[in-house]
Amino acid sequence: MPFRKADYGPEWDRIKKRILEREGYRCRMCGVKRYSVGVRHKDGRFTLHIEAASYEEARRYARDGGGLIVVKLAVAHLNHDLSNHEQFLTALCDYHHLKHDQPQHTENAKKTREAKKQELQKGLWEESDAVLI
């Protein structure tokens, strides 16, 4: 869900750390561990090369091998509700976080397009009213 960090509240860093620990620093959907380096296939499967101990180590390894990605974890709001109830929070890798939020992104994009269209039509009506007067 595309929110700014400030939207998550002042406790967010602490909550996020607790959730990542609870989930064992693994994606709830695919089980891939944070800072894993490997290949993400189009069908979502992940081929692991190494599980690095740090982001820096993972980046170094990924830089040397072509087409490798570094898995980062995000704490996702499963119910898209920012009240941060921990039973609705989980760790997801970049791939599954995007997949989880995709319907919401699509809906938001649709709403934005419709709002712009209405604004445009409203503007055109006002313009044509002005012509009639």
Compare residues 77 and 96 and give the one whose CB is closer to Zn ion. 96
- Tell whether residue 39 is a contact of Zn ion (CB under 5 A): no
- Tell whether residue 29 is a contact of Zn ion (CB under 5 A): yes
- Tell whether residue 93 is a contact of Zn ion (CB under 5 A): yes
- Rounded to whole angstroms, the Cα distance separating 27 from 20 reads 9
Please answer whether residues 19 and 92 qualify as being in contact, where contact means their C-beta atoms are separated by less than 8 angstroms: no
Compare residues 15 and 29 and give the one whose CB is closer to Zn ion. 29
- Tell whether residue 30 is a contact of Zn ion (CB under 5 A): yes
- Tell whether residue 50 is a contact of Zn ion (CB under 5 A): no
Compare residues 27 and 52 and give the one whose CB is closer to Zn ion. 27
Closest separation in Å from C-beta 96 to Zn ion: 4
Please answer whether residues 81 and 99 qualify as being in contact, where contact means their C-beta atoms are separated by less than 8 angstroms: no
- Tell whether residue 76 is a contact of Zn ion (CB under 5 A): no
- Residues engaged in binding Zn ion (CB under 5 A): 27, 29-30, 93, 96
